[in-house]
Amino acid sequence: MKIYQADAFTDQPFKGNPAAVVIMESPMSDEWMQALAEENNLSETAFLKLTKEGYALRWFTPAAEVKLCGHATLASAHILWENGYVSPDQAIHFETLSGTLITRKSGAWIEMDFPSEAAEVVPAPPLLSEALNTEWVACGKNRMDYLLELPDEASVRSLQPDFRTLKDLGTRGLIVTAKAEGKAYDFVSRYFAPSFGIDEDPVTGSTHCCLSPWWAQKLGKHALTGYQASKRGGTVRTHWKGDRVLLQGQAVTIFEGELR
């Protein structure tokens, strides 16, 4: 059984977000997949199984299965095309817990068609004041995460959350974001998910399904470029199309191996 590791949302090794990609020859139990994800100790391990329609795809953090993951989907598509599992001129259909996700080549970039996960403006839960020593402009929430818009990019970059407190937030995690100060990006963000075993995720594709409609409406344009300002950092292009969001990123293979 082949296993690969790729860095997603970057064109440089050791940047972006690393994901393991496992090509399964036969179905494996949930317990086995969770144990391997814990063994890998990456933010996500993707498990692929060939089907008549494309590939069944599931994502596991070291602590739990998740319903939607962008960077491990990007890494999976990159590995399938680069290693000849799928012809580069063919789209890949992934069957997931969030429905069918379609990926396509777009020059040097990979484009993913994801569901929009727009956030509804809500009052911020009191726990956030305990976990964060910062002010915010607005609070939103979708089916997976809370989103906090902070006053400026510097506030996002300097934030130091109390991860123990954030574990009790009751959602998958917390997105913090602000309008970017320079011209290279439209917005910046960071993402914290300690309840799923990830204090800070390096680059998170699925949060951009929320960030894209949030900033598209605020900035008055649908095509945007976001930068996730983690230590490793990564770039995500987004295009909001109502109930769908197109995400674009790049990926680099780090190694391949064999599970025995």
Which residues are designated catalytic?
44
34 burial via Cβ count (<10 Å: 0-12, 13-18, 19+):
middle
- Whether the CB-CB separation of 234 and 13 falls below 8 Å is answered with no
Question: Phi/psi of residue 236, each to 5°?
Answer: -130, 120
Listed residue (128, 120, 117) closest to 170, CA to CA: 128
Listed residue (47, 19, 58) closest to 259, CA to CA: 47
What stretches of 187-231 adopt beta strand conformation (E)?
187-193, 198-201, 223-228
**Which residues, in sequence order, are bridge partners of residue 146?**
141, 174
